[in-house]
Amino acid sequence: MHNMSIAELGLGLRSKTFSSRELTEHFLRRIATLNPRYNAVITVTEESALASAERSDEQLRNGAGGDLCGIPVLHKDIFCTRNVRTSCGSKMLDNFIPPYDATVVENFADAGAVMLGKTNMDEFAMGSSNETSFYGPVKNPWDITRVPGGSSGGSAAAVAARLGAAATATDTGGSIRQPAALCGVSGLKPTYGRVSRWGMIAFASSLDQAGPIAKSAEDCAILLQCMASYDPRDSTSVERAVPDYRATLNDSVAGVKIGIPKEYFSDGLDPSVEAAVMDSLAALRELGAELVDISLPNSHLSVPAYYVIAPAEASANLSRFDGVRYGHRCDNPVDLEDMYRRSRAEGFGEEVQRRILIGSYCLSAGYYDAYYRKAQQVRQLIRQDFVNAFEQVDIIMGPTCPSPAFKFGAKGDDPVAMYLEDIYTIATNLAGLPGMSVPCGLVDGNPAGIQLIGNYFDEASLLNVAHRLQQATDWHKLQPGGLD
């Protein structure tokens, strides 16, 4: 059952081949036996999962329920879940039990999906390897000596190991696409504003966006359909009709113009990853797509601009964790100042503290113009590159990340090396565009991903091209060894 697509699971549920309760029990058993190896899931909500499966079975018996009714999913632990701990991978929130559900979580619940639990992640979504989680790193199911990517490494590893039918994730600079690439699964970051951020713990509010991680583009289409909604509670949520993403999945890609940015095939790219990406592009050309060489001349500025803007916003967002209202509070503070100081020093890990320091520095009087304002100007240049490119092409494609999964500790001492993991994904967040990663091959047994970048609100084209590619190739069907 765990290898079936969401559509197949839906058919199985509707034809009474199995019930949602049986399906849920099946995934709970897999989590119990396999998760100790991967550490992908940090909270299992067994009791409420079984109860909601029974409610969905009831709906299905009455002929009601949509595509996700009765389907067991996992939520990244950045989404607030009512009465269920939401830690954001941090000691700071290890004791935080939200009194409400995030809109994304609510959308899934309304659709009758079953929440199995919460997935591990880099602390406050800062990282590219899951090594910053307070709960310990997630292991990549393809090779447990390697990282799963981050920050949504728990969600990507859980889907790769088939611990749930799919998982939610978030992407501020690559955190859906990079772990999806490293774990051999499909992940989509929608256009900024497409999915509500309400109840999603904020990292960098102008960049954060939630999206699905799943086994295929078709599954991502079904999941995005549920996640995308206008939400008045999020002032950046865009009021715009949500198209039927499945309706256009099978459209022909003949004549689709795919832009290949030369800057995404630079020196740092592993030649084997490049070869895998080129094979997938050739497969799309076979299907009639046209490959067009393009340039995104300001690409080299995206990592430096991001590492000013994201920490600046993070330093402001994380100021709310002060030990007063919720989260970790130090023992026996002598005064208010001592409480702030020690609560934050004890509650936040090293990477989070580094970002808060960088961000506060960039925003401080005297440096604001030199760093923050400059980074915002660079952001406009990066956005304009894409606007120009989309006058020539329909979508843009290239590698998701420069290399396959690396070993634990390989970049731990070198924050800049870690930051370069997102060299191909970050520009998309700065511009607010949708991006997707799908598997495109194996490099020495480890998955590589190909990235698709679309125009604003054109998730449908990404899903269409990715789906056609997945019909022509089998990379998305490969699974880590040692799993049945």
Contact 176, 438 (CB under 8 A): no
Q: Which of 402, 346, 472, 427 is nearest to 149 (CA)?
A: 402
Smallest distance from the beta carbon of 283 to ligand GLN, in angstroms? 28
DSSP conformation class of 132: T
Is 302 near ligand GLN (CB under 6 A)?
A: no
What residue is closest to ligand GLN based on CB? 175
Smallest distance from the beta carbon of 122 to ligand GLN, in angstroms? 7
Contact 314, 122 (CB under 8 A): no
Smallest distance from the beta carbon of 128 to ligand GLN, in angstroms? 4
Which of these is catalytic: 52, 76, 215, 411? 76
CA atoms within 13 A on the CB side of 25: 6
Q: Give the one residue of 125, 201, 223, 226 binding ligand GLN; rule: CB under 6 A.
A: 125
Smallest distance from the beta carbon of 169 to ligand GLN, in angstroms? 9
Encoding tokens for residue 432?
């607010």
Q: Give the one residue of 68, 126, 182, 318 binding ligand GLN; rule: CB under 6 A.
A: 126
Q: Which stretch binds ligand GLN (CB under 6 A): 14-22, 172-180, 210-218, 458-466?
A: 172-180
Considering only residues 366 through 425, tell me which ones interact with ligand GLN, judged by CB under 6 A: 422
As a whole number of angstroms, the distance between CA 439 and CA 124 comes to 26
Mention every residue, 6+ apart, whose C-beta is less than 8 A from residue 50. Answer: 21, 24, 25, 28
Interface with ligand GLN: number of residues (CB under 6 A): 13
- Cβ proximity to ligand GLN: between 178 and 216 the closer is 178
Is 317 near ligand GLN (CB under 6 A)?
A: no
Smallest distance from the beta carbon of 200 to ligand GLN, in angstroms? 11
225 burial level (CB within 10 Å; 0-12, 13-18, 19+): buried
φ, ψ (nearest 5 deg) of residue 314: -65, -40
Residues 254-293 as x/- pattern, contact with ligand GLN by CB under 6 A: ----------------------------------------
Q: Give the one residue of 310, 318, 448, 452 binding ligand GLN; rule: CB under 6 A.
A: 310
Contact 464, 248 (CB under 8 A): yes
Which of these is catalytic: 20, 175, 216, 461? 175
Is 175 near ligand GLN (CB under 6 A)?
A: yes
Smallest distance from the beta carbon of 475 to ligand GLN, in angstroms? 23
φ, ψ (nearest 5 deg) of residue 48: -70, -30
For every residue of 344-397, DSSP letters joined together read HHHHS-HHHHHHHHHHHHHHSTTTIIIIIIHHHHHHHHHHHHHHHHHHH-SEEE
Smallest distance from the beta carbon of 420 to ligand GLN, in angstroms? 10
Q: Give the one residue of 52, 87, 168, 172 binding ligand GLN; rule: CB under 6 A.
A: 172
Is 127 near ligand GLN (CB under 6 A)?
A: yes
φ, ψ (nearest 5 deg) of residue 407: -75, 155
Helices assigned H by DSSP within 39-151:
46-61, 103-110
- Catalytic residue flag (residue 76): yes
Is 90 near ligand GLN (CB under 6 A)?
A: no
Smallest distance from the beta carbon of 426 to ligand GLN, in angstroms? 7
Residues 213-252 as x/- pattern, contact with ligand GLN by CB under 6 A: ----------------------------------------
Considering only residues 130 through 159, tell me which ones interact with ligand GLN, judged by CB under 6 A: 151
What is the arrangement of strands in the sheet containing 41-44, beginning at the earlier edge strand? Answer: 41-44, 114-119, 72-76, 166-171, 209-214, 186-189, 435-443, 446-454, 395-399, 257-261, 290-294
Residues 9-48 as x/- pattern, contact with ligand GLN by CB under 6 A: ----------------------------------------
Contact 438, 186 (CB under 8 A): yes
Q: Which of 321, 367, 325, 324 is nearest to 347 (CA)?
A: 321
Q: 58-86 burial, b for 16+ CB within 10 Å, e for fewer?
A: ebbeeeebebbbbbbbbbbbbbbbbebbb
As a whole number of angstroms, the distance between CA 39 and CA 427 comes to 30
Beta-bridge partners for 447: 442
As a whole number of angstroms, the distance between CA 343 and CA 330 comes to 5
Is 173 near ligand GLN (CB under 6 A)?
A: yes
Smallest distance from the beta carbon of 411 to ligand GLN, in angstroms? 11
Query: Taking the chain, what is the end-to-end CA distance rounded to the nearest angstrom?
Result: 11
Is 200 near ligand GLN (CB under 6 A)?
A: no
Which of these is catalytic: 128, 151, 152, 216? 151
- Cβ proximity to ligand GLN: between 125 and 160 the closer is 125
Q: Give the one residue of 10, 72, 174, 439 binding ligand GLN; rule: CB under 6 A.
A: 174
Contact 232, 19 (CB under 8 A): no
Smallest distance from the beta carbon of 454 to ligand GLN, in angstroms? 18
Q: Which stretch binds ligand GLN (CB under 6 A): 166-174, 263-271, 288-296, 367-375?
A: 166-174
- Catalytic residue flag (residue 151): yes
Contact 78, 126 (CB under 8 A): no
- Catalytic residue flag (residue 16): no
- Cβ proximity to ligand GLN: between 171 and 219 the closer is 171
Sites of contact with ligand GLN (CB under 6 A): 125-128, 151, 171-175, 203, 310, 422
Active site residues: 76, 151, 175
